[in-house]
Amino acid sequence: MKIIMLGAPGAGKGTQAKQIAEKYKIPHISTGDIFRANIKNGTELGKKAKTFMDQGLLVPDELVVDLVVDRVRQEDCTNGYVLDGFPRTIPQAEALDAALEAIGEKIDYAINVEVPDENIVRRMSGRRACVACGATYHLVHIPPKAEGICDKCGKELILRDDDKPETVEKRLNVYHEQTQPLINYYTDKKVLVEVDGTVDMADVFAAIVKILGE
């Protein structure tokens, strides 16, 4: 079962990807994890990626695809995997499909966690993070016991720059411009499925399980 997770930043796709991986006993793969593992292990691909990252440059699509394909060919991916945060663009999706086809594989499902922009802005602007220990809260869903104070260490909670409405809107614009076209791409490939990401997280997961099967 080879799955790609799609959805805007803050849609909750990472949370769902982890639960899918746990239920179906398949690895949850994010490009960030792949980069870190390859750099840490000093692999050839890792060294190449590091040269770009050290210069503050984006790792080229070709190299990212090589890293992803190298990861999905490992033994723990025999029964499938969940790709989270990749592909982000049509060229990446095409390169991934071509690389998978070359090893006799293909994506089975592209799951789009659908959440309207205004919900995401509201959801993310409710997040709070502890300046000291990094614990995260949400004013509505996981509020701290005392307003503005971390339950764990008693330090101040802040709204991170990443979660400020103006930053979230910018990220959403980039998403719609670059990643939204993937929804059409995977629809044409007849592998796209959509779930309502505005409902409770447990209900989102239940909808995904209904699609993937027990």
Catalytic residue, candidates 23, 73, 152, 160? 160
Active-site position among 2, 123, 127, 128: 127
The DSSP bridge partners found for residue 158 are 129
Q: 87: cis peptide before it, omega within 30°?
A: yes
pLDDT value at residue 151: 96
For residue 158, give both structure tokens. 């802040």
193: pLDDT strictly greater than 90: yes
The yes-or-no answer on residue 160 being catalytic is yes
Q: In what order do the strands lie in the sheet with 192-196?
A: 28-30, 81-84, 2-6, 109-114, 192-196
Told to judge if 170 belongs to the known catalytic residues of this protein, a careful annotator would answer no
Tens digit of each residue's pLDDT (9 = 90 or more) over 92-140: 999 999 989 998 999 999 999 999 999 999 989 999 999 999 899 999 8
| Segment 77-93, tens digit of pLDDT | 999 999 998 998 899 99
The pair of three-digit structure tokens given for residue 119, joined into one six-digit string: 């919900």
Question: Among residues 2, 13, 123, 128, which one is catalytic?
Answer: 13
Q: What tens digit of pLDDT does each residue of 153-173 get?
A: 999 999 998 889 999 999 899
For the question of residue 128 being annotated catalytic, the response is no
Q: Is pLDDT of 203 > 90?
A: yes
Respond yes or no: is residue 171 known to be catalytic: yes
Q: Is the pLDDT of residue 56 over 90?
A: no
Confidence (pLDDT) at 154: 95
- How far is the C-alpha of 8 from the C-alpha of 177, rounded, in Å? 11
Average pLDDT over residues 170-186: 91
Selecting among 88, 122, 155, 164, the annotated active-site residue is 88
Interacting residues of 214 by C-beta distance below 8 A, sequence separation 6+: none
Residue 24: partners with Cβ closer than 8 Å, 6 or more residues away = 1, 79, 80, 212
The pLDDT score that the predictor gives to residue 42 is 92
Residue 78 token pair: 């025999």
For residue 84, give the 3-state DSSP assignment: strand
Residue-averaged pLDDT of the chain: 92
* The predicted structure's pLDDT at residue 4: 97
Burial of residue 180 (number of CB atoms within 10 Å: 0-12, 13-18, 19+): middle
